[in-house]
Structure 1
Amino acid sequence: MSTEQDKLLYAKINLETAQIPWKELERFFAGGMVISVNENVDMIQVAQWMASDDVAAISGMLEKKEIQKITDDQARIWSDSDAMLWAVVVKPWILVQQRRS
């Protein structure tokens, strides 16, 4: 992919991000389709790598635990606190990120 195509994909994904209440994501969590992105990581870049099927980049992030499946404990915390998360869909996954103000 060329640099211009990379920029366009990044911009497209950026436009598809939104804040969403955790409660609306719980059914997808139950299906194992939600991935948490560490707050210090560019979620849009992660989505771009997933959309481009960049196995090396995603594998490295999994190893460093910069991205990971949501644990039951984390889901419970978000549910109890009515958490609002940033999210973007990269089928079949939903990436979520909690940002602290």
Structure 2
Amino acid sequence: MTQEPSTLYAKLLGETASITWKELQPFFAKGALLWVEPTLDLIAVAEAFAENREAQVAAWLKSGDVGKVSESKALDLFERDPPLWAVVVAPWVLIHERA
């Protein structure tokens, strides 16, 4: 049985965009950029942030599956310039590398 996506999930999916690291650098400088490991569904993570699901968000932060973009990750993204996906859940911009 397939579960239908929530209205919020669909809204966030519609607001997700392909973006370059160069475009994200100002958000990195502000400390507002969160890396989401590609093993996670970016939209599901954004939905959890938007719905303030504290336990789930805390678990991802603790495991390192979600977290602020480190300087080493920023340098890696700058050097490789891979295609990225981003979605905004104020005050955060959540990103991950496109498969």
Provide the TM-score with structure 1 as the length reference: 0.89
Q: State the partner residue of 1:35.
A: 34
Q: Which amino acid aligns with 1:11?
A: A
Quote how far apart the aligned CAs of 1:64 are: 1.2
Give identity over the alignment, percent: 39
**Alignment of 1:69 onto 2:68:** yes
Q: Which amino acid aligns with 1:36?
A: W
Report matched runs for 1:36-55 at 5 Å: 36-55=35-54
Q: Which amino acid aligns with 2:59?
A: G
Question: How many pairs does the alignment contain?
Answer: 97
- Write out per-residue CA displacement over residues 50-69 of structure 1, whole angstroms, 9 at most, x where no aligned residue: 11111111001111111011
Q: Which amino acid aligns with 1:56?
A: A
Q: State the partner residue of 2:57.
A: 58
Q: Calculate the aligned-residue CA RMSD, in Å.
A: 1.6
The runs of at least 4 aligned residues of structure 1 exceeding 3 Å deviation read: none
Q: State the partner residue of 1:17.
A: 16
Quote how far apart the aligned CAs of 1:82 are: 2.2
Quote how far apart the aligned CAs of 1:84 are: 2.0
Q: Which amino acid aligns with 2:41?
A: D
Report matched runs for 1:79-94 at 5 Å: 79-94=78-93
